[in-house]
Structure 1
Amino acid sequence: MIRNPILPGFNPDPSIVRAGEDYYVATSTFEWYPGVQIHHSRDLVHWRLVTQPLARRSQLDLLGNPDSGGIWAPCLSYADGRFWLVYTDVKTWAPEAPFKDAHNYLVTAECVEGPWSEPVYLNSSGFDPSLFHDDDGRKWLLNMLWDHRKGRNPFAGILLQEYDPVRQKLVGPVHNIFRGTPLGLTEGPHLYKRDGWYYLLTAEGGTSYEHAVTLARSRSILGPYEVHPANPLLTARAHPELPLQKAGHASLVETQRGEWYMVHLTGRPLEPPGASLRRCNLGRETAIQRLEWSEDGWPRLAGGGNTPRLEVEAPDLPPHPWPLEPETDPFDTPTLSPHFQTLRLPADESWLSLSERPGFLRLYGRESLISRHRQSLVARRLQHFYAEAETALEFEPRHFQQMAGLVCYYDTQHWVYLRLSRDEALGKTLNLLTCDAGRYDEPLEREVSVGEVARVYLKVRFERETFRFFYALDGRNWQPIGPAFDSGKLSDDYCNGLSFTGTFIGLCAQDLSGTRLPADFDYFTYRGLG
């Protein structure tokens, strides 16, 4: 059996492809760098993070991008002996704003691990692009159309235009092939061909609790498209009792044995099933469902119904588990673990080093945690409701504007930070800094003096609905610091309801005086606790 979600933690908008006996899923990364996560499996049960293709600033420059901007809904395909990745870079957007500056690009590679090409600009008419390779050799780009005009449906349909791979540009007329169903908010198109039918898969209902998967088909690629008679194909709307919610934004794959599966976005609320308050601090995750084709030429979920299941029958493929990931990164290799990401810009020697002090991650202090430009922050996803993360910090701040420590981070407006700094009267001190919907606070009544110790150990522990911080001076005798915090405040659902990432746990350093004082981290441990 396959246990959902297959990609826990912030891994939304999955696009799946098979290349021979290998399966790959690409997911959105938004403002986090490198852009796009690609996981690999050979049995659809066991998955490993294999690459993040948009790793150069020439491919992706997110400097100044808004929270939950950047990479939206990539599409990964394989044809002509190459991998093709199309993606959106959203430069400006806001829930209340009419405009979205969303630019679509294409990169390719012969091997999924790269090297990936420089980007080819495609268009900016809407987001969620995908590339369809027809059996006659022609290639077609799809994306949703964004209509900013007052009184119009902003999700104005699915556009189709031919792509010329020789000229590396879109050619010919633009066709609006599908304007959606009454579910609304039509986006996330993927096109497939089977038995002479073109099947158009879209996401509808919005990416929260009304989310759904819609399927339509046509004998002509240009339409008209008839909608699945039992639409939606998948949804958890009107089923608050289900453990998997927000089901939508899907992608299909056929195994080498002729079995069909659908990966899709999902979310798992912190609160019990059916609770009125539902918040997903792990973000939007990736799950999988098995499909069966009916005699009428339409696919349906295996076993009937259209709601997501926690357990799904695995395909008839040999089991292929991967080695377990180590819990601790000792920072003794020349490159960062791929599980770490940075904000908006790639990690480079100007602010991050694994070689200047071997066995340590050195971060040079830069801008504050509310900056959308040059933060010195390295973080990984929270992937379990119960988990803890730990590090050891060596840092010699000279004044209060120099800080370093351990942060639980959602975006620039939502974070909780255990930092080491210096107070004029107390010397080296620990304090908790918080930002809740942009409102800054320091919940401790006074700084905690740690004397002039060379090393401080920092830890955070998540226990589903709450999390709290600890510190130690010897690495063994841990002391709690500050109150327990609400995990749900680091969730899409709390952060304006239209944010799209998830909780990260990070190491960071700030030097608000501009002198770029370094902080050294000896290791980082992350462990799921069940």
Structure 2
Amino acid sequence: MKYKNPIIPGFYPDPSICRAGEDYYLVNSSFEFFPGVPLFHSRDLVNWEQLGYVLTRKSQLDLTECRTSGGIYAPTLRCHNGRFYMVTTNVSHGGNFYVWTDDIRGEWSDPVFVKQGGIDPSLFWDEDGTVYFQSTHSDGAGSQCIGQCTIDIETGETLTPTRPIWYGTGGKCPEGPHLYKIGGYYYLMIAEGGTEYGHMETIARSCSPWGPFESCPGNPILTHRDVNPRFGEFQALGHGDLTTDTAGNWWIVFHAIRPSQFMLHHIGRETMIAPVTFDGDGWPVVNHGRPITQEMEGPGCAESGKDGFAPQNSFFQEEDFTAESALSCKWACLRNPETGSTALENGLVLTAGENGLESAGAPAFIGRRQQHFEAAAETLLDFCPDAEQAEAGITVFHTREHHYDLLLTRREGRRAAVLRRRVCDLLVESAPVFLPEEGKLRLRVEASRLQYRFFAGPEDGGLSSAGEGCTQLLSTECMNCTFTGCFIGLFCQGEPGTKARFERFSYRPE
């Protein structure tokens, strides 16, 4: 089977996968965005459909005043005796917890909290029914390692003290642990090196789930830390999880980034996949020891298209809000949305509250992840502002301090479109593009690898340029340690109670 990476493009990091029969399920981190933990389904490991989210209620996910890149870290998805479990960390409220469901397409339980510190928790069921809980840990001397305890899966109660089980190979930030039993050994796979350009995946094994663990002589089993970022297709590879397919072949899902230019990326860490084999000594080898590329080949049963590659999702989106009874699951909000801020009433109606895009609260905002360097997004907006403080429009949003907003407002007493670029403590506005006082308006964003261009105009007329902004200033490397990626979103802000009605939205990869 030939296929192309990434299999889920855009801000979908820290993938965890499990198989139930012929079905594969995958989850990702979501940080300060709500609902939390995107949930995907596939039958061939290449084409993935988003089913929705795991955490859909505030009782499951409290994001009140969640900081940038706070919230939900590194979920793990497992299935045991027909029941699905998702374990994760809310670093802003509550720490480590898990939820469960007997219907993967239905509602999940309220959180069951586990009193073990650290982040990136994982679950492992041994053959005798013992449930092991792993996460990051700091030993008595302050050294970072992977810690483990056993738990009562019904209550979350810890049954043993947390013990250090592996310190990794010496890379910083040992994290993202997953324990497997393969061929009589317990394999512990972790991420090291930080989720940056030195990221890597390492593995060790033992005859006991408590260790001692022997490090694989081929570590790291996955990394591009020595691949020149000028020429490497992907960088920052790591945070993996293993699965078998229905034919018994092994695969690893992991995340990586695609730099837009030297040492800069802005659309986030993306989900990739690669085949895994085992050498004569029983150690896993990823992609036969070769670097990860966009065009890959591995075992599988997905049908090939005309170009010889398995057909894959385009992630195209088109929504007519006047005809929809519910929003697509591609949308997400910033933190827990305020009651009444979003409604479908012959269109998508956003109602401004006390918080705008630059606050640590919950603005009237919905966004979808940017998944392609080359893409165009457009919306039709019915909004007649009555003051300069009233604003609604389309935004390219990375964090509350880094976003480009094409907003409809009033300038010099006239309805106008303005491009506002916020970068850290700098704010720049374009000259207004004056628009007709009556009628609906089109707002458009065109993205390329290095630039965003913004346009505005009447529904049935031509579009005028409102300005442009470089992707560099919305890149993770230009911010203070962010783990997310760019969204293209719709918003309304200013005087509380201001309403804006969006009739349609489209996102088209170019």
> TM-score interval w.r.t. the shorter chain?
over 0.9
User: What amino acid sits opposite 1:187 in the alignment?
Assistant: E
User: Which position in structure 1 is the counterpart of 2:89?
Assistant: 88
> For the structure 1 residues 269 and 323, does the alpha-carbon distance in structure 2 shift closer, same or farther, using more than 3 Å as the test?
closer
Pick one of 401, 411, 414 that aligns with 1:427: 414
Instruction: Note if contact 2:237-2:254 (Cα within 8 Å) is conserved in structure 1.
Output: yes
User: What amino acid sits opposite 2:488 in the alignment?
Assistant: I
Show CA shifts across 1:460-480 (max 9, x none): 000111111001113441111
User: Which position in structure 1 is the counterpart of 2:121?
Assistant: 129
Report how far residue 316 of structure 1 moved.
Answer: 3.3
Please say if 1:144 is aligned against 2:125.
Answer: no
Please say if 1:453 is aligned against 2:438.
Answer: yes
User: Which position in structure 1 is the counterpart of 2:284?
Assistant: 299
User: Which position in structure 1 is the counterpart of 2:450?
Assistant: 465
User: Which position in structure 2 is the counterpart of 1:522?
Assistant: 503
Show CA shifts across 1:436-459 (max 9, x none): 0232222x2x43322412311100
Pick one of 343, 357, 374 that aligns with 2:334: 343
> For the structure 1 residues 119 and 321, does the alpha-carbon distance in structure 2 shift closer, same or farther, using more than 3 Å as the test?
farther
> For the structure 1 residues 436 and 476, does the alpha-carbon distance in structure 2 shift closer, same or farther, using more than 3 Å as the test?
same
User: What amino acid sits opposite 2:247 in the alignment?
Assistant: R
SS of structure 2 residue aligned to 1:493: helix
User: Which position in structure 2 is the counterpart of 1:334?
Assistant: 325
Report how far residue 168 of structure 1 moved.
Answer: 3.4
Aligned length: 499
> For the structure 1 residues 164 and 487, does the alpha-carbon distance in structure 2 shift closer, same or farther, using more than 3 Å as the test?
same
With the length of structure 2 as denominator, give the TM-score of the two structures. Answer: 0.94
> For the structure 1 residues 500 and 326, does the alpha-carbon distance in structure 2 shift closer, same or farther, using more than 3 Å as the test?
closer
Instruction: Note if contact 1:65-1:90 (Cα within 8 Å) is conserved in structure 2.
Output: no
Instruction: Note if contact 1:57-1:346 (Cα within 8 Å) is conserved in structure 2.
Output: no
Please say if 1:503 is aligned against 2:494.
Answer: no
Rounded to whole Å, the distance in 2 between the matches of 1:20 and 1:340 is 29
User: Which position in structure 1 is the counterpart of 2:26?
Assistant: 25
Show CA shifts across 1:8-50 (max 9, x none): 0000001011010011111111111110011111111211111
User: Which position in structure 2 is the counterpart of 1:96?
Assistant: none
Instruction: Note if contact 1:352-1:363 (Cα within 8 Å) is conserved in structure 2.
Output: yes
Rounded to whole Å, the distance in 2 between the matches of 1:270 and 1:318 is 30
User: Which position in structure 2 is the counterpart of 1:285?
Assistant: 270
User: Which position in structure 2 is the counterpart of 1:202?
Assistant: 190
User: What amino acid sits opposite 2:320 in the alignment?
Assistant: P
Rounded to whole Å, the distance in 2 between the matches of 1:326 and 1:181 is 42
Rounded to whole Å, the distance in 1 between the matches of 2:103 and 2:226 is 42
Please say if 1:353 is aligned against 2:343.
Answer: yes
Report how far residue 124 of structure 1 moved.
Answer: 5.2
Rounded to whole Å, the distance in 1 between the matches of 2:270 and 2:285 is 22
Rounded to whole Å, the distance in 2 between the matches of 1:110 and 1:222 is 30
Rounded to whole Å, the distance in 1 between the matches of 2:472 and 2:408 is 25
> For the structure 1 residues 326 and 485, does the alpha-carbon distance in structure 2 shift closer, same or farther, using more than 3 Å as the test?
closer
Rounded to whole Å, the distance in 1 between the matches of 2:389 and 2:408 is 11
Rounded to whole Å, the distance in 2 between the matches of 1:107 and 1:315 is 33
Unaligned runs of 5+ in 2: 304-309
> For the structure 1 residues 75 and 346, does the alpha-carbon distance in structure 2 shift closer, same or farther, using more than 3 Å as the test?
farther
User: What amino acid sits opposite 1:295 in the alignment?
Assistant: G
Aligned-residue CA RMSD in angstroms?
Answer: 1.9
Instruction: Note if contact 1:53-1:113 (Cα within 8 Å) is conserved in structure 2.
Output: no
Rounded to whole Å, the distance in 2 between the matches of 1:405 and 1:228 is 52
Rounded to whole Å, the distance in 2 between the matches of 1:316 and 1:393 is 45
User: Which position in structure 2 is the counterpart of 1:494?
Assistant: 478
Please say if 1:311 is aligned against 2:273.
Answer: no
Report how far residue 199 of structure 1 moved.
Answer: 0.3
Report how far residue 365 of structure 1 moved.
Answer: 1.1
Show CA shifts across 1:57-76 (max 9, x none): 11001010100111110000
SS of structure 2 residue aligned to 1:85: strand
User: What amino acid sits opposite 1:518 in the alignment?
Assistant: K
User: What amino acid sits opposite 1:56 in the alignment?
Assistant: R
Report how far residue 392 of structure 1 moved.
Answer: 0.9
SS of structure 1 residue aligned to 2:247: coil
Rounded to whole Å, the distance in 2 between the matches of 1:177 and 1:235 is 23
Unaligned runs of 5+ in 1: 92-100, 272-276
User: What amino acid sits opposite 1:7 in the alignment?
Assistant: I
Map of 1:87-486 to 2, 5 A cutoff?
87-91=88-92, 103-123=95-115, 125-146=117-138, 152-153=142-143, 156-240=144-228, 241-271=231-261, 277-305=262-290, 307-317=291-301, 319=303, 327-331=317-321, 332-346=323-337, 348=339, 350-354=340-344, 356=345, 358=346, 360-366=347-353, 367-423=355-411, 425-442=412-429, 444=430, 446-482=431-467, 484-486=468-470
> For the structure 1 residues 430 and 316, does the alpha-carbon distance in structure 2 shift closer, same or farther, using more than 3 Å as the test?
closer
Rounded to whole Å, the distance in 2 between the matches of 1:194 and 1:167 is 28
Map of 1:36-47 to 2, 5 A cutoff?
36-47=37-48
Rounded to whole Å, the distance in 2 between the matches of 1:347 and 1:339 is 19
> For the structure 1 residues 440 and 30, does the alpha-carbon distance in structure 2 shift closer, same or farther, using more than 3 Å as the test?
same
Rounded to whole Å, the distance in 2 between the matches of 1:287 and 1:189 is 18
User: What amino acid sits opposite 1:28 in the alignment?
Assistant: S
User: Which position in structure 2 is the counterpart of 1:56?
Assistant: 57
SS of structure 2 residue aligned to 1:303: helix
Instruction: Note if contact 1:426-1:449 (Cα within 8 Å) is conserved in structure 2.
Output: no
Instruction: Note if contact 1:102-1:126 (Cα within 8 Å) is conserved in structure 2.
Output: no
Show CA shifts across 1:401-425 (max 9, x none): 11100100001110010111123x3
Rounded to whole Å, the distance in 1 between the matches of 2:52 and 2:276 is 28
Report how far residue 235 of structure 1 moved.
Answer: 0.2
User: What amino acid sits opposite 1:333 in the alignment?
Assistant: E
User: What amino acid sits opposite 1:33 in the alignment?
Assistant: F
SS of structure 2 residue aligned to 1:253: strand
Larger displacement relative to structure 2 (38-47 or 166-175): 166-175
User: Which position in structure 2 is the counterpart of 1:95?
Assistant: none
Rounded to whole Å, the distance in 2 between the matches of 1:501 and 1:336 is 22
Rounded to whole Å, the distance in 2 between the matches of 1:379 and 1:462 is 16
Paired-residue identity, % = 37
